[in-house]
Copies of this chain bind each other. A is one copy, B any other.
């Protein structure tokens, strides 16, 4: 008999693990729905040309392609492109600003390595406007993440949401005379936490950054802390480029709205860039305090034009995305969540068939009160039945025989 082997790069969780995974997913989903985000459940496949219209090299290499009839199809590699296509098809019928919750899997045929999955859950909350989108929605997305992680961690771990602004950085680089190399410089800054200080300086030098500029960049990206502190320091820089002024204005507005929302875990941190090209204003990342080496567990930002290829209208948006499959792995590795037995609240073990009716009725009653229950139908020995109770992860067990049926009372015992 040949043994079946799982494909690597695909989570394939056992019941107890799945129960914990689902609990985390539910916290995220409930937070989305509570705040008026509406579920979008995208198709898995799209015409290849539509799905890849805006994509570059890595995505092109990683996307899963298939063919059926005459149509070249490809599988979604994120949840953003499907959303853009959906909005393009339905813009007349949708109410804007549109708040969308997507909790769904995406696929990339990457080389399997630690922290990279081929099938992975994304939990995306996006707000999209037809035209201008007020900056308050940037704050709302950040506050949503604050709520989600506060609920998930319940005080067992601290986290920091680090906020910056792309225009602020661009305006700053422009003030240094690095406007033309801004894209390349930005990518190096994005890597600052992943490479050594020497490499960081070397790579910047290769872009033509001189000693003086390097000192100023280092000074800039080290700015982090409360909005008040960072803004006070930024003022002393006396930078007057348009992007800098606009970016600072946006960041101030976002942080003011967050203050009004009394978020507890948000700081300004100008080292945050976010690799993706399409961000144009607010950007943010989240780290677990003391576990910064695991990287960001939530990130997002603002984009200017979501539906560029398929609509003449301009759709501004802001979104916050949690990579749930990766988050689950991190939380298990760091022991910030515990995979526990995950059986029913109460398992009935009828001694024999005469006890079935009693168990069925009691079970129904408890379920109507919101409990989860199960009945073990089996003619095996009681010891085997108790073994099942333990292995299935049931919290409590009740053994039902003649005495219990006659008296209508039964004892429950904790097994897990």
Contacts and interface: CB of A to CB of B under 8 A. Distances in A.
| Interface residue range, chain A | 35 or more
A23 to B, nearest CB: 11
Contacts of A291: none
A15 B40 contact: yes
A65 B66 contact: yes
B14 A90 contact: yes
Query: How many identical subunits does the complex contain?
Result: 2
A155 B300 CA distance: 46
A69 B373 CA distance: 46
A260 B355 CA distance: 11
Contacts of A46: 7
Contacts of A42: 12
Nearest to A44: B119
A89 B3 CA distance: 7
Interface stretch (A91-99, A160-168, A182-190): A91-99
Contacts of A71: 7
Contacts of A10: 43-45
A6 to B, nearest CB: 6
A99 B372 CA distance: 13
B136 A95 contact: no
Contact of A44 (B15, B65, B105, B347): B105
Interface stretch (A228-236, A374-382, A400-408): A374-382
B18 A99 contact: no
Interface string A1-15: 111111100111111
A385 B107 CA distance: 39
Contacts of A388: 95-97
A11 B64 CA distance: 21
A83 to B, nearest CB: 11
Contacts of A371: 34
B134 A261 contact: no
Interface string A356-373: 110010010001000111
Contacts of A374: 35-36, 99
- Most B C-beta atoms less than 10 A away, residue of A43, A310, A343: A43
Given A44-B107, A44-B119, A95-B392, A18 B2 contact: no
A22 interface: yes
Contacts of A18: 38-41
A387 to B, nearest CB: 9
Contact of A372 (B21, B35, B93, B342): B35
A34 B94 contact: no
4 cross-chain pairs, A with B, having the tightest CB-CB distances, nearest first: A36-B374, A95-B391, A136-B377, A10-B43
22 contacts: A1-B310, A3-B88, A3-B310, A5-B89, A6-B43, A7-B73, A11-B43, A12-B89, A21-B41, A34-B371, A36-B343, A44-B107, A64-B66, A95-B388, A95-B392, A97-B378, A97-B388, A136-B377, A137-B377, A257-B356, A260-B360, A261-B360
